[in-house]
Each structure stands twice: as structure tokens, then as C-alpha cells.
Chains A and B, each alone.
Chain A
Amino acid sequence: MSEPASLTLKVNGKARTATAAGTDTLLTVLRDQFLLTGAKRGCNQGVCGACTVLADGRPVRSCLSLALDCDDRPIDTIEGLTGEPIMQALQRAFIARGAFQCGFCTPAMLVASFALLQSNPRPSDTDIRRALSGNYCRCTGYKKIVEAVLDAAARLPAETPA
């Protein structure tokens, strides 16, 4: 499958143009054409979670999303979320807790945690483990990551900002 077509994606609030063949994934376009390398290519099978981005504000696997099929949904990557108060609280908490070692899973952990705190500002330990169950970390054993998300939640106002 075949000749690439041009497409316009709305990424981090801006319209960006790329070319993609029918089988090219969103992850490939984000990384190789837009040089947004926060989303990682881990398993490329939808299992490890390292490629997680937001589509329509909800976490999805960019490695399982066809790029050409994403042109009518706003896409947010870790690079576009760093100005958000929830993301900044998460980043500070991850640093304070040392919630990473190699860092490969970290951008997707942050994106998945961001989506959780947007919909559930006061998650329990179990809520966090459920929300992050599709994001693998091969270094930390998850304890510090869960603690960091709890810390970030505690520092944010309980009401989700409109």
C-alpha cells in the first residue's frame, strides 16, 4: 500500500502538514516528520504504552492509529501539554519523587496521568494503577510513579479547571 497522500493534522493546537501512506501510523508522522519525539516507539504493538498521546482529549495509542485517519481529531502530545498546570504539577512531582530511571516510559506516563487527573482530580492508589496499567515501566517498579501522581493530585485544586 502505496502512494503517500498529504494530510493536515491538528497537533498541539496547530495545523501541521505531512505526507503519509495508508499504513503509516500517527506515531511515525509525529516522530519522523514533526520531530515530536516525546511519544516513543516501544513495542509498536499497542502493548507497552510508550507511544500514548491524546486524541480528542483522551489517551490513545499513536502506534495503532492510522495517520490519515486522524485528520479530524485534535492530537495532543507531551510537548504541547507542558504549559498546563496539571502537567506542571505532575512534572514537579515526578522529579521530587525520582519517579523514573531510564526515562523512556516517562512522557507517556505523564500523558496518561494528565488524562487521569483531568477526569478524576482526586484518584485513589487503585485508580492510578488502573489508569496506568497500559503503560509499562521496566525500571522503577511503579511505586514512585504512583506516589508522584498522588502527590501531584494533592497539590492541585480538587475542581477540574474549566
Chain B
Amino acid sequence: MPLSPSLFRPRTLDEALDILAATPDARPISGGASLVAMMNAGLVEPTALVSLTRIPELSGIRRAADGGILVGAATRHSAIAAETVFAGTAAVLAHAASQIAGVAVRNMGTIGGAVAHADPGLDFPPALFAVNARVHLAAKSGHRMLPIRDFLVDWYTTALEPGEIVSAFEIPRPKPGSGFYLKHARVAGDFAIVSIALSLADDGEARVAVGGCGPTPLASTEANQMLSENLSVGTVSRAGELLTALANPVDDVRGTAEYRKLLVPRMLARAVREITSARKAVA
């Protein structure tokens, strides 16, 4: 039974999926950081809400048997920012989480809610590209798994079907190395104008993704291969050009499309400098 005619609070994933299947207009809600703001602004008027924060199987971070990491969709940003399991190449995820909004919002917002919202200025999507994450989706009709690049489809649009929710993110076993999230915003905690998520393994493998420059994060297999071979100024510059060529940003209150394109190669170079100098300091 819902607590009121309009708010359901299931205790298990199956119960939540049953409600969503039976109530087509219901919106899943987790931390509320995006959806309640949109409701307050009159942008959405859900007829029913299904709160996902009391379902133990959707919360928390755990190691999989193969050394990978499973992050429940209702895990809050503050928990991810503080989680030491995100070491090596996976450090980029905790670093991104630590730069989302301010303390109070990090105590509320959840990774599943953020990624399902699919705002191009969000911090998690590029970081999830950089760790090569897969998204677990659950529905009454069955469960499936998608690479993050196939989950994010367009501006505020994901591969989620009606009645389906994000249940977890699966991060392949991190490699020894480091991760860095470089965010350029007007003020601390604002949406990114441009962001760079970078993971760099000690064996040389590099993965980079760019946020804020189009409907979904920019990533390029070719750029990753180039950066995995060497991190010379020339190579980083060419990888920056490749990524800029993929950019499809818009003009908005935070910056023009042209400005965003100018930032991409400069920020990539800075992210590489930061990550390599931090690595030298440790070595």
C-alpha cells in the first residue's frame, strides 16, 4: 500500500518493479536532487512516485568475485566520494563524486538518479566512461545490462524503457594506476561547462571522456589508443583535437559552444599534467 495515494515506498526491488509495471505514470525517485527540483519548478507533475531509497539491494558498494565493483543505483554521492575501494584507475569515479554540487546535495543525490536524469553537465557520466562501466537495468519483464555509452542516448534521454529502472553500475576490476576528474564550472558545485574524466593505468592504458560538450560524453577509441602509447605534448594535443572534433555543444548561460570547444584540448592537457605529476610525486 502506498503511504499516501501518491507515494509508494517499496522495501524490495521486486516490489518496486511490480508497482512500476502496474502504475505506468509513476516516476521512480531516489535522492530527489533532480526530480524534486523539477517538480518545484513545475516542469514535471508526476501522478505517483516510487521511492527507491529503502531497498537494501539497490544501495551500497561491493566487490564482485572477479575483482570488479558493483555500485547500487541508490548509493549516495557522498558515500561514493568517501569509498576507498575506488582506487587505481577507478579513483576517477570518487574524484568526480566529490565535486558534485555541495555537501548537502551529495548527502541526498544518488548515482542512479543522476545518470538516469542524463543531464549533459553531470559529473558521473564521463567518469563512468573513463572506468568503462556497465549499467544494470531491472524491470518486471527481466533484467539486462548495457555499456554506459549505449545507456546514454541523447539530451536527457536514456535507453530506459517504461517500468524499467537502473539497479546498479558495474565497474571492471580497477588496474593499478590513477584517475583524475577535472571540472571547469563558474562556481564550485555548479554543473560543468566542460569536464575531463581520465584514468591512467600503470601499464599505460589511458581512457578519457569529456563532459558538457554535447548530449552525451565524448569518447574516442583512437584518442584512448594514442594516449595509451605515449603522453607527449604532441600526442595529447592531437587527442584533444580528435575529441574536439566530436564535440557538439550548445550555447547556454554557462558558456558558448565555441568557448567549450576551446576548453577541451586545454583541459585535456591540464588533466594529463595533473595526473602524471601526482604519479611522479608518489613514485
Tell me if A68 and B32 are in contact (CB < 8 A).
no
0 or 1 for each of B102-126: is its CB under 8 Å from A? (1 = yes): 1111011000000000000000000
A135: chain B residues at CB < 8 Å are: 102
Tell me if B189 and A134 are in contact (CB < 8 A).
yes
* Given A1-B45, A22-B49, A63-B36, A134-B102 contact (CB < 8 Å): yes
Write the chain A residue with the least CB distance to B8: A22
**Segment among A44-52, A77-85, A89-97, A151-159 that sits at the interface with chain B:** A44-52
Q: How distant is the Cα of A20 from the Cα of B7 in the complex, in angstroms?
A: 11
Residue A64 at the chain B interface, CB threshold 8 Å: yes
Interface size class, chain A? 20 to 34
Tell me if A68 and B104 are in contact (CB < 8 A).
no
B45: chain A residues at CB < 8 Å are: 1, 23
Tell me if A66 and B29 are in contact (CB < 8 A).
yes
0 or 1 for each of B21-48: is its CB under 8 Å from A? (1 = yes): 0000000010111001101110001111
Q: How far is the CB of A48 from chain B (nearest CB, A)?
A: 10
Q: Which of A21, A65, A134 has the most CB of B within 10 A?
A: A134
Tell me if A68 and B103 are in contact (CB < 8 A).
no
Residue B134 at the chain A interface, CB threshold 8 Å: no
Write the chain B residue with the least CB distance to A116: B103
Tell me if A45 and B108 are in contact (CB < 8 A).
no
* Given A1-B46, A22-B49, A46-B37, A69-B9 contact (CB < 8 Å): yes
Tell me if A60 and B4 are in contact (CB < 8 A).
no
Write the chain B residue with the least CB distance to A46: B37
Residue A112 at the chain B interface, CB threshold 8 Å: yes
Tell me if A69 and B7 are in contact (CB < 8 A).
yes
* Given A2-B4, A45-B37, A134-B102, A65-B9 contact (CB < 8 Å): no
Tell me if A49 and B3 are in contact (CB < 8 A).
no
Tell me if B107 and A65 are in contact (CB < 8 A).
no
B48: chain A residues at CB < 8 Å are: 1, 22
Contact of A49 among B33, B36, B104 (CB under 8 A): B104
Q: Which of A4, A45, A63, A64 has the most CB of B within 10 A?
A: A64
Residue B53 at the chain A interface, CB threshold 8 Å: yes
* Given A59-B103, A66-B49, A134-B105, A4-B4 contact (CB < 8 Å): yes
Contact of A22 among B5, B33, B41, B104 (CB under 8 A): B5
B188: chain A residues at CB < 8 Å are: 130, 133
Tell me if B108 and A61 are in contact (CB < 8 A).
yes
* Given A21-B6, A65-B32, A65-B108, A115-B103 contact (CB < 8 Å): yes
A102: chain B residues at CB < 8 Å are: none
Contact of B4 among A22, A25, A65, A115 (CB under 8 A): A22
Q: How distant is the Cα of A61 from the Cα of B157 in the complex, in angstroms?
A: 26
Q: How distant is the Cα of A37 from the Cα of B189 in the complex, in angstroms?
A: 26
Contact of B102 among A4, A64, A69, A133 (CB under 8 A): A133
Residue A36 at the chain B interface, CB threshold 8 Å: no
Q: How far is the CB of B53 from chain A (nearest CB, A)?
A: 7
B220: chain A residues at CB < 8 Å are: none
Q: How far is the CB of A149 from chain B (nearest CB, A)?
A: 14
Tell me if B103 and A134 are in contact (CB < 8 A).
yes
Residue B101 at the chain A interface, CB threshold 8 Å: yes
Q: How far is the CB of A90 from chain B (nearest CB, A)?
A: 16
Q: How distant is the Cα of A131 from the Cα of B33 in the complex, in angstroms?
A: 18
Tell me if A131 and B103 are in contact (CB < 8 A).
yes
A selection of 10 A-B contacts at a CB cut-off of 8 Å is A1-B47, A2-B47, A5-B5, A23-B46, A44-B37, A45-B37, A45-B41, A46-B36, A49-B104, A64-B31
Q: In the complex, given contacts A65-B32, A130-B188, what are 18 additional A-B residue pairs having Cβ atoms less than 8 angstroms apart?
A: A1-B6, A1-B49, A2-B5, A3-B4, A3-B6, A4-B4, A5-B7, A22-B4, A23-B39, A58-B78, A59-B104, A59-B107, A64-B36, A64-B105, A66-B49, A68-B4, A69-B7, A112-B104
**A residues in contact (CB < 8 Å) with B:** 1-5, 7, 20-23, 25, 44-46, 49, 52, 55, 58-61, 63-66, 68-69, 112, 115, 130-131, 133-135
A-B complex: 10 closest residue pairs judged by Cβ atoms: A134-B102, A22-B6, A5-B4, A59-B104, A1-B6, A133-B188, A22-B7, A64-B36, A44-B40, A45-B37
